[in-house]
Amino acid sequence: MVRIRVVGKKGQVTIPKEIREKFGLKEGERVSFEVIGDEIIMKPEKSGREIVEEFASIVKNKLSAPKPEELKRVYYEQIEERLSRL
């Protein structure tokens, strides 16, 4: 979705209605701007709760990932199974 807007005297830009609705942006909510190369990325600012939940999900995924010993065991089981078919 591409929308063109004009920058006003004070640097203000109106976010198109369909974009505000898609991201649930309402008056008074905060957005962040990030510059990557020659692009400006604007995102709704995450709440503290959202940040914590995102971090917790990363930690949970790391903790639930198989440990190297388990991977090694599965690897050797696969080798033994394939050798037994010969």
pLDDT at 33: 93
Taking residues 52-62, what's their average pLDDT?
80
- CB distance 23 to 44 below 8 Å: yes
Residue-wise pLDDT tens digits, 7-26: 999 999 999 999 999 988 99
Residue 48 pLDDT > 90, yes or no?
no
35 in the same domain as 3: yes
Q: CA-CA distance, 13 to 5, in Å (whole number)? A: 7
CATH code of the domain in which 29 resides: 2.10.260.10
Taking residues 47-68, what's their average pLDDT?
78
For residue 5, name the pLDDT band (cuts at 50, 70, 90).
very high
DSSP string for residues in 3-67? ------TTS--PPPHHHHHHHT--TT--EEEEEETTEEEEEEPPPHHHHHHHHHHHHHHHHHSPP
Q: How many domains does the chain have?
A: 2
Look up the pTM and report it: 0.51
Range of the structural domain that residue 34 is part of: 1-45
pLDDT at 41: 92
Q: CA-CA distance, 74 to 86, in Å (whole number)? A: 19
